[in-house]
Structure 1
Amino acid sequence: MLGFSYSLPATRLAVMGLDPWFVAFGRAVGAAVLAIAYLVLSRASLPSVTQVRRLVVVAAGIVIGFPLFTSLALTTQTSAHGAVVIAVLPMSTAIWAVLRAHERPPLAFWLSSGAGLLAVLAFLAAGGGLSGSFSVADLYLLIAVVVCGLGYAEGGALSRELGGARTICWALVVALPVTIPVSLYTADFSRATTGVWFHFAYVTTISMFLGFVAWYAAMAAGGVAKIGQLQLAQPVLSLGWAALVLGEPVGWPALVTAAVVLVCVVLTQRSRVVSTNSVAEPAVR
């Protein structure tokens, strides 16, 4: 979560000098280079046809969908606002965990997660996000939440078979036929500064690769729905980064929302999530 928490501020800074489409797809290409190196060095075996189909779902969610829609949103919206909206992601992940990973969280889990979701919706309402002034940026962020939740759930379940590192690595490789041509088409470095490239490198190495290695391994071990709720803590950290690095104002509604979702994540971790899978497949390291 510490690595992911800086993703929105870093993306915000990257799109100031690079096309948002290039930030989304270019970072996936850069991360794929690291992924290929890992797969070769670890002598990873090829995934099965069924696993490739599932990797396409993972890639669509977290390699393409989430980076693209957050990049588009952050060209006009602050990362502080985006951080709180993205707090809906744990609920999205939990719903997809039921549909794709066959997990069955208890009532206490849903109540705690739902409280976090309501806090986020209240924040949007206070800022006009749920009124007639609902912005295109908010729509992009909510789409990002839906597709990322799917990518998290599918990837977390698949990590039980492939392992966390190989799941994200193969997802990045599977996405290359899409990410390479879009990156080449949208490449425009005329406004890119050293700071822009630094933050592009961050979202490439940390947000798109190393963070997911740890994240998928954790979900494979602890369950998609339960571990996914840890992301409720991300707004607290992201708001801090937004104020510290970008100098963005963080008002009391955002702080109250962040505090509520932090309490909710503690409550979700105290609940026990049951999987309906009869046999858990061991993760391949």
Structure 2
Amino acid sequence: MKADEIKGLWLGALGVVIFALTLPMTRLAVGTPDAPQMSGPFIALGRAVVAAGLSALFLLATRAPWPARRDWAPLALTAGGVVFGFPLLTSIAMRHVEAVHASVIVGVLPLATAAVGAWLHRQRPSAGFWACALVGSALVVAFAVLRSGSAGLSIQPADALLLAAMGCAAIGYGYGARLSQHMRAEHVICWALVLALPLTLPWAWASRPHAVLAASAWWAFGYVAVFSMWLGFFAWYRGLALGGTVRVSQVQLLQPFLGMLFAVPLLGERLDALTLGFAVAVIATVFIGKKMPVRAVA
């Protein structure tokens, strides 16, 4: 493995550690049906507004050039995935499911990211690579079905929202990684956030909370705004650009387990044997899948 690929994997791992706290912190900020805090739309769009303000300052401080005309459409797709789609869907879902449960659903994200990355970057993963990715994703779906509590093959509406969020994130990751090949990785997320500001600002203001909220909800909101929505992408997009989207995306299989570890002390949630078993089984696929070849298409 080349030095750039190794560096990309480490940067990707750093991004995953930062993102692993996103669901527990979102759960803390949004509250529960019995004790609601912030609304899902405010958390999703408010954090984008805060991150956009930081982005504007960063772009000015680094004298970032304006994106080329050909980059505006990929930036819009990046924003649609990681500024709007993923935050909105997860913020709405997290009021109805525990972070430990949602962390397992996140296990489907590596397959979605790998699929988008392979298509965008003209890469051809081996059959063994796809087999590992599909097994991990099948385990995630099986877990959601088992936890649905209903007869037949069905899942909770919140799980459906989470799965849709994974698709949005994969698109945002894939296009952001491609832009990071000729733009600074930090500038990609910054421009995406600034581009979205005319929509996120009025929507966040309209959905702002009017009641007095717990201090913990504001601290959690601060984390998802500064780290999940901004700094985490600095490492993540750089890692994807250096190590390759298809390969580095598999590091995300560590995210469910990390999310569970964070949710237990932060939220007092319980980690049962079934959840832990599925998480370990999903994570195990990363150690096999990362050894499978990924070839470029001529």
- Shorter-chain TM band: over 0.9
1:104 pairs, out of 124, 129, 134, with 124
- Alignment match, 2:189: 168
Distance 2:153 2:145 in 1: 10
Distance 1:52 1:175 in 2: 12
Q: Is 1:220 the equivalent of 2:235?
A: no
1:54-203 aligned at under 5 Å gives the runs: 54-128=74-148, 131=152, 134-203=155-224
What is the deviation of 1:56?
A: 0.2
Distance 1:193 1:167 in 2: 33
Distance 1:271 1:45 in 2: 38
The 1:124/1:56 distance shift into structure 2, 3 A limit, reads same
- Alignment match, 2:255: 234
TM-score scaled to structure 1, two decimals?
Answer: 0.93
What is the deviation of 1:137?
A: 0.6
Does the Cα contact within 8 Å between 2:118 and 2:245 map onto a contact in 1? no
- Alignment match, 1:10: 25
What is the deviation of 1:86?
A: 1.3
Distance 1:32 1:102 in 2: 31
Gaps of 5+ in 2: 1-15, 32-36
Say which SS state the counterpart of residue 274 (structure 1) adopts: strand
Q: Is 1:34 the equivalent of 2:54?
A: yes
Distance 1:275 1:19 in 2: 44
What is the deviation of 1:138?
A: 1.1
- Most deviating of 125-134 and 166-175: 125-134
TM-score scaled to structure 2, two decimals?
Answer: 0.89
Kindly provide the amino acid, as one letter, of the partner of residue 237 in structure 1.
L
- Most deviating of 94-103 and 256-265: 94-103
Distance 1:105 1:154 in 2: 18
Distance 2:104 2:189 in 1: 25
- Percent same amino acid at aligned positions? 36
Distance 2:46 2:120 in 1: 28
Say which SS state the counterpart of residue 75 (structure 1) adopts: coil
Cα RMSD (Å): 1.5
What is the deviation of 1:245?
A: 1.2
Distance 1:191 1:96 in 2: 42
Distance 2:121 2:97 in 1: 33
The 1:20/1:112 distance shift into structure 2, 3 A limit, reads same
Does the Cα contact within 8 Å between 2:145 and 2:155 map onto a contact in 1? no
What is the deviation of 1:272?
A: 3.0
Say which SS state the counterpart of residue 215 (structure 1) adopts: helix
Q: How many residues align structurally?
A: 277
Distance 1:193 1:84 in 2: 27
